[in-house]
């Protein structure tokens, strides 16, 4: 797209130059009728060429430019170049290996796996990561300024779809953290015999995430930390598991209808409704007693929202993710008319998922790292009476202190200082007008 833009600029310069030349020629012809300065057919053709090039470049530029948020009548899979989600590799070391001591010089290619880095506090051993994808902000009190203030001094090695293999080769990492889905660079890494730790991330259920935590803990001699986190995670699951609403004392005990919910992620120019990338989130919403709009037979990474399916499903609750590693924090006031057709809109039950630092996707409470907090928030949202005594702020403060060595109050204070999205109301819900 940038090349098209450059081409258009160059062509316009050529056109301007030629038009100026034409003007001069005409002026000379008018003042000197006898002089033979009129353009011949060859000159006219030469002037048309840049115009044709510029017009073509503009058309291509417009076609390549991002449109408004995309959605359609039917759910269509999003394809990502250089990546295949059809068959996931096993989590853990590839090839299986045991380290005599915790590895140094870690290169992180997979943005989602930064969860493991900060959970186990090994960020000082990391020399390279997907810096541009992380969209880092080092504002005072924020997540990155507390957890990893030297992060911008590290080498950017790209991300799974576009790895910088030259940079990775030059680093000769003691450990490369990569996804379990297939990427074109896998064969190259295998030839270099770089030790790789593979992670599912959100392409998994909670058991697979906790498996990754346990395996990473073994590598860095932190089995106790892994066990503490997994125990807290499992305890939270037990608290927030409901087979039907009457498990939570939320109805008369005669009906056992599950609450209809839709989870949507803002990603680039798309409303993403389903896909392998949101598998983890769909699982814990179902675990909380929800019937979730999903396309389980589709193995694509991301599936954009289909209005017809969405309106037909008519969710009672809508949960919207506005902070992701791919898109950062994105603002929206949900301007489209189709939202108003849903029961969730009419009953004021559209919620934005909490992110404790909106500049850091790792603090998104529907993401794997802070998922226990997201489970508690979701349970209190769905079953306010049962969880009215739950102090979410206290739970969140203790979680960050215990597992991430982050001062939650300082992070929230810093986040408040960032300009808020005006569409977010005090109760974290979109008001029906």
- What ranges make up the beta strands (E) of 298-366? 303-304, 317-321, 323-324, 328-329, 350-352
pLDDT at 45 over 50: no
User: What does the pLDDT look like over 131-183, one tens digit per residue?
Assistant: 988 889 999 999 999 999 999 999 999 999 899 999 999 999 999 999 988 88
User: What does the pLDDT look like over 179-232, one tens digit per residue?
Assistant: 988 888 888 888 888 899 999 888 778 999 999 999 999 999 999 999 999 999
Predicted local distance difference test score (pLDDT) of residue 213 = 97
Nearest to 140 by CA among 418, 368, 370: 418
pLDDT at 245 over 80: no
Residues 6+ apart with CB under 8 A from 46: 18
* C-alpha dihedral (85, 364, 405, 128), degrees to nearest 10: 40
User: What does the pLDDT look like over 63-85, one tens digit per residue?
Assistant: 443 333 444 444 444 444 555 66
Hey, is 93 helix, strand or coil? strand
Beta bridge partners of 78: 302
Please state at what angle helix 371-382 crosses helix 223-239, rounded to 10 degrees.
10
* Average pLDDT of span 94-103: 85
Predicted local distance difference test score (pLDDT) of residue 42 = 42
Return d(Cα 407, Cα 393) in angstroms, integer.
13
Dihedral of alpha carbons 330, 333, 339, 344, sign:
positive
What's the mean per-residue pLDDT of the chain?
79
Q: For 191, phi and psi rounded to 5 degrees?
A: -65, -35
Strand order in the sheet with 106-108: 92-94, 196-199, 175-179, 106-108, 126-129, 155-156
| Residue indicated by tokens 């396309």 | 295
Q: C-alpha 306: how far from its chain's center?
A: 20
Dihedral of alpha carbons 155, 160, 164, 169, sign:
positive
């Amino acid at each position: 797209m940038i090349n098209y833009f450059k081409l258009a600029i160059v062509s316009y310069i050529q056109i301007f130059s030629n038009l100026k030349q034409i003007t001069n020629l005409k002026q000379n012809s008018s003042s000197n009728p006898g002089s033979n300065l009129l353009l011949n057919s060859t000159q006219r053709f030469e002037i048309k060429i840049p115009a044709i090039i510029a017009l073509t470049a503009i058309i291509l530029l417009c076609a390549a430019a991002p449109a408004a948020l995309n959605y359609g009548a039917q759910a269509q899979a999003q394809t990502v170049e250089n990546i295949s989600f059809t068959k996931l590799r096993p989590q853990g070391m590839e090839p299986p290996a045991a380290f005599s001591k915790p590895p140094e010089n870690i290169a992180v290619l997979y943005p989602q796996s930064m969860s493991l880095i900060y959970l186990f506090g090994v960020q000082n051993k990391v020399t390279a990561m997907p810096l541009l994808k992380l969209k880092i902000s080092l504002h005072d009190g924020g997540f990155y300024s507390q957890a990893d203030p030297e992060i911008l001094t590290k080498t950017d090695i790209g991300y799974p779809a576009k790895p910088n293999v030259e940079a990775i080769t030059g680093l000769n990492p003691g450990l490369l953290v990569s996804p379990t889905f297939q990427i074109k660079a896998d064969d190259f890494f295998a030839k270099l015999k770089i030790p790789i730790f593979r992670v599912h991330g959100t392409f998994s259920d909670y058991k697979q995430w906790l498996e990754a935590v346990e395996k990473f803990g073994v590598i860095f001699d932190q089995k106790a930390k892994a066990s503490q986190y997994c125990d807290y995670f499992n305890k939270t699951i037990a608290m927030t598991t409901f087979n039907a609403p009457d498990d939570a004392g939320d109805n008369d005990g005669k009906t056992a209808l599950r609450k209809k919910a839709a989870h949507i992620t803002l990603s680039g120019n798309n409303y993403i409704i389903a896909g392998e990338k949101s598998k983890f989130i769909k699982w814990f919403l179902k675990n909380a007693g929800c019937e979730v709009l999903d396309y389980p037979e589709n193995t694509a990474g991301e599936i954009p929202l289909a209005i017809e399916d969405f309106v037909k499903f008519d969710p009672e609750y809508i949960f919207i993710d506005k902070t992701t590693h791919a898109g950062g924090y994105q603002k929206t006031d949900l301007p489209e008319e189709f939202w108003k057709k849903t029961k969730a809109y009419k009953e004021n039950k559209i919620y934005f998922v909490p992110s404790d630092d909106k500049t850091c996707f790792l603090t998104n409470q529907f993401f794997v790292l802070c998922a226990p907090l997201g489970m508690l928030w979701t349970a209190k949202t769905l079953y306010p009476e049962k969880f009215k005594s739950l102090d979410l702020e206290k739970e969140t403060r203790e979680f960050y202190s215990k597992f991430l060595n982050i001062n939650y109050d300082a992070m929230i204070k810093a986040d408040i200082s960032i300009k808020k999205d005006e569409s977010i109301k005090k109760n974290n819900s979109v008001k029906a007008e």
